[in-house]
Amino acid sequence: MAIAKPVLGRTIKRKIHSIGGRKTPFIAGHKLLYTCNLRCEMCPFWRRPDERLLSLSEEIKMMDTLVEADVSFMGFEGGEPLLRNDLPEILKESHKRFHTSMVTNGWLLKSRIKSISNYLDYLFVSIDGLEDTHDRQRGIPGSFKRAVDGIKEAKRYLPVSMSTTITENNLDSIFDLMELARSIDVSVNLQVSYNYSTADKISPERERLHHILIKLKEMKKSGYPIVNSYEYFDAVINSWYNNIPWVCKPWSTINIDPLGNIVMPCYVLNEYSGKYKVWEVNIKELWNSYDWGQYESCNKCSLSCYLEPSLFSWKKPSMIQERIINGIGSYIASMF
């Protein structure tokens, strides 16, 4: 059972270390490649050429280094991960070591899910609106239908969530998307688009977004299948509209680019540019010598991969219930 040791054993180990103020990443994100078969407006990564990709042996070396650093959760993304022919082998190795998830645009999902489903604990499929909105934002006609067909097939094998980026283009489609999620019985993970320097600038207009965020929190309370915590919505609303900041903890997540370089201090500020090979440094020493404090007040993004881990606290019963107890319960239920 892949989740038992990472979530329980390493969590306890990290908690003991943190008593002395030491920092350790517990989540890893890895872009397997930049290449993608879609052309999403808000994404800078498909616009980059891949220099080379890590071999399977290098991927394993990276994973073993992360195990030594007490990482528990591994998330694969791209580009489009399903473009890699060796993806099943990579995911198999990850699943031996971590609770493993992946983000895909869904184009190839229906034909490939069977070969990877045994090695994934959770799957996110990018959906940004109903058909016309999604296809326009993702840049390729037919991408919505392929993604939805992929979701319907994938949910036969493992838990699936839609991953939705809120932009100026799809603000009017967000509530329709919640109804779609209900109709096909999957959850939705939301985040607000960030204006990367090398991507189209389509972050949503502030006042319209404010209304949407408040409404989404209400929809979650009324039972809509929204993955984001209540604290997520509160943090974004308070920091962006009420001048009440949240404390960012970028050290909780370690991101690794397609060449095996560590991206520091975070995915956003460094726009996925790294210089330290993950297996050539002592992550624990690096993490505890780096000046993280200067980034604690940064509230520029609302990416859930940073905001949610930063907000998590063992002192918040609602987050323990939603993130740990419900998560493990859903995982166990999916096995039967």
pLDDT for the residue 18: 55
Q: Whose structure tokens read 């970028």? A: 250
pLDDT for the residue 22: 86
pLDDT for the residue 197: 86
DSSP, collapsed to helix, strand or coil, labels residue 5 as: helix
The CA distance from 168 to 111, in Å, is 32
The CA distance from 166 to 20, in Å, is 39
State which residues of the chain have pLDDT below 70. Answer: 1-20, 313-336
Cβ atoms 91, 120 nearer than 8 A = yes
The CA distance from 74 to 76, in Å, is 7
Cis peptide before 81 (omega within 30 of 0): no
- Residue by residue, DSSP assigns 13-46 as HHHHHHTTT-----EEEEES-S--SS--TT-SST
Return the CATH number of the domain spanning residue range 4-333: 3.20.20.70
- Residue by residue, DSSP assigns 270-297 as TTS-EEEEGGGS-HHHHHTTS--GGGTT
The CA distance from 323 to 325, in Å, is 6
For the entire predicted model, the pTM comes to 0.88
Tokens of 48: 């980059």
Q: Where along the chain do its domains lie?
A: 4-333
